[in-house]
Amino acid sequence: MKSLVRWGATLGLVGSTLVSSFLSSNLRALALTETEVITMLQPVPVFTVTDGNGSPLVASVPKPGQEETQQAVAGVFISPQDAQAFVERLKQDKPDLGNQVVVQAVSLSDIYQLDQKNEKQSANGSEALDFAFVPRQQQVQLAQQLLVKNGQPQQQFQGVPLFYAKGGPEKGYLTVKQQDGTQVIPFFFDQGQLEAMVENFKRQNPNIADSVTMEVVPLENVIDTLETSDNKQLNNIVLVPSQESISFIQSLQNSSRQGTPQVPATNTPQN
């Protein structure tokens, strides 16, 4: 339940209409610590398919470059609807298994911490569970279109898209002001939410509206950058879940307050 409270606090950012100017992209600082990365990822809900004990459903797939070797992989869905659709297909194709699994909401930070632990086990020669993000395909298609629009070669977008905006004289990051007055750089899982923020900014700042561009980057690259880059802007990034995920979490919160039995939303998948 504590995770739901943290998620609920962060989700308020989506409804913000107080759009600020741009942050310069030239400031420098140290990379984030592991604790800081975990804190940043904590408010983001993702969705797994687990058994009654909270253990993730896994599949054996060939290791990249080692086709003769199998590795255990668990899917991490960005969309709760995609996760539920997977369960429904499983119930049709393999009812004995499908009727034993459920969709669980977990924090992205939990997945990150488990992945860090598994990487260390793998480096020591132990078998470790791998996690594979499953993006919303509609957002992947929008990401590909955006890359082409921005003049990049047409190619299959790899990873989970995160959309953000830049502009102004220095092509800085578009920011929003939170209730406590701090400026944050929102990275959206849903392009439509970014579009709404950009349009609001253009109405407020018509003199620089033409300088604003929307851009996209894989979530996986952002996480890697959090760990390794020395760009001070990292401290200002906030990952904004889709409206779909927000509604799902809010429904869990409402059900919990009403005393309706629910699958625990804070269970961390176990190896």
Asked whether the beta carbons of 74 and 269 are under 8 A apart, the reply is: yes
* pLDDT per position as a tens digit, 47-93: 999 988 888 888 876 666 666 666 788 999 999 999 999 999 999 99
16 pLDDT more than 60: no
The whole-number pLDDT of residue 225 equals 85
In angstroms, rounded to a whole number, what is the distance separating the alpha carbons of residues 20 and 148?
28
The whole-number pLDDT of residue 13 equals 47
- For the chain, the structural domain boundaries read 6-253
The whole-number pLDDT of residue 220 equals 92
The whole-number pLDDT of residue 62 equals 64
Can you name the CATH fold of 6-253? Trna Endonuclease; Chain: A, domain 1 (3.40.1350)
How does the average pLDDT of the chain come out, rounded? Answer: 79
In angstroms, rounded to a whole number, what is the distance separating the alpha carbons of residues 190 and 240?
8
By CB neighbour count within 10 A (0-12 exposed, 13-18 middle, 19+ buried), where does 168 fall?
middle
Q: pTM for the full model?
A: 0.82
* pLDDT per position as a tens digit, 147-178: 999 888 777 899 999 999 998 888 888 888 87
